């Protein structure tokens, strides 16, 4: 795994299948600077096969709560093929995240990390998003972020029963321990509609249409759009994330694709298999 060490909007990773590909990747990252200055230094890591999951911890520095476990789909193409992206779609809660698995993540990762922040006198309040792979040996951390995942946040927000503002207020006022955060007993699925040329060089400035058409229990998050006059134009790589929620994961997936198919953006692309792997 070859990673640009700086910030690359989740895209600075190349998985080399052999030594030649690894050398090419190093040249691209460090000489050609395909990820810009983020490629000034390189991180080389072992490839970890396993199931990827996104853990969102909300903490006020004293207490913490886990949000439902989400699964992101980072590769550009169906079947997890093609280059890595910031994320092409997600769903939550991941059915494979059993109470035992969650308990192990809390015991081995969440509690030690929060204790270590405290020990270092870092008064961290907010969202800690842990990207991990469940490898043969158990949970292996890929990254920590102090923000919500994109597109994971799009599937976590519709699952909150407790208003987000109440949670955030409790976090800033260190009252999280006394707040009972409730979640809806539903699934949510989001699909990213990406601009032509994403992730290398997304084309921007194209009209985005069909956003206003209604499909029940869906909502479209805007990621890379801008309003010009009364027209919605693309302004980034991951343009919009139609999101659906419902009691049944397969039915919810069907509705999110119904909504996605209504969005028109010339040359755009979206994966057709988000949440397909839920039962694997």
Binding site for ligand GLY (CB under 6 A): 10, 72, 86-87, 145, 149-150, 152
Q: What does R_g of the chain's alpha carbons equal in angstroms?
A: 19
Nearer to ligand GLY, 73 or 232 (CB): 73
Q: How far is the CB of 212 from ligand GLY (least distance, A)?
A: 27
Q: Which residues pair with 189 in a beta bridge?
A: 91, 244
Closer residue to ligand GLY (CB): 65 or 238: 238
Kindly tell me which of 193 and 232 has the beta carbon lying closer to ligand GLY.
193
63's tokens:
């207490």
Residue-wise DSSP of 49-97: -SEEEEEEEEE-SS-EEEPPPBEE--EEETTTEEEE-S-SEEEES-TT-
CB of 148 to ligand GLY, least distance (A): 8
The count of residues in the chain is 280
Q: Nearest distance from residue 198's CB to ligand GLY, in Å?
A: 14
Q: What is the enclosing helix (H) or strand (E) of 228?
A: strand 225-228
Residue nearest to ligand GLY (CB): 87
* Burial classification of residue 78, based on how many CB atoms lie within 10 Å of its CB (0-12 exposed, 13-18 middle, 19 or more buried): middle
- 53/249 with CB nearer ligand GLY: 53
Which of 86/242 has CB closer to ligand GLY?
Answer: 86
Smallest separation, CB 262 to ligand GLY (Å): 24
**N- to C-terminal Cα distance for the chain?**
24
CB 149, min distance to ligand GLY, A: 4
CA triple 165-169-171, angle to 5 deg:
115
């Amino acid at each position: 795994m070859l990673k640009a060490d700086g910030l690359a909007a989740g895209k600075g990773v190349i998985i080399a299948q052999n030594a030649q590909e690894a050398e090419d990747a190093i040249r691209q990252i460090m000489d050609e600077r395909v990820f810009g200055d983020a490629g000034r230094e390189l991180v080389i890591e072992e490839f970890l096969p396993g199931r990827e999951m996104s853990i969102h911890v909300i903490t006020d520095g004293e207490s913490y709560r886990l949000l439902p476990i989400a699964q992101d789909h980072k590769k550009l193409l169906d079947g997890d093929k093609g280059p890595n992206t910031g994320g092409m779609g997600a769903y939550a809660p991941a059915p494979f995240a059993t109470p035992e698995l969650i308990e192990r993540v809390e015991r081995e990762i969440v509690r030690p990390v929060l204790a270590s922040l405290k020990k270092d006198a870092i008064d961290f309040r907010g969202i800690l998003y842990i990207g991990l792979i469940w490898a043969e040996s158990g949970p292996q951390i890929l990254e920590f972020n102090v923000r919500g995942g994109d597109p994971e946040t799009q599937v976590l927000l519709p699952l909150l029963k407790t208003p987000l503002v109440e949670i955030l207020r409790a976090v800033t006022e260190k009252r999280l321990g006394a707040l009972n955060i409730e979640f809806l007993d539903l699934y949510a699925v989001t699909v990213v509609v990406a601009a032509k040329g994403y992730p290398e060089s997304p084309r921007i400035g194209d009209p985005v249409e069909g956003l206003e058409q209604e499909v029940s229990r869906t909502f479209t998050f805007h990621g890379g759009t801008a309003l010009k006059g009364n027209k919605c134009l693309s302004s980034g790589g991951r343009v919009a994330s139609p999101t659906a929620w419902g009691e049944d994961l397969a039915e919810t997936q069907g509705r999110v694709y119904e909504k996605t198919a209504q969005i028109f953006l010339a040359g755009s692309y979206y994966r057709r298999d988000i949440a397909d792997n839920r039962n694997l």
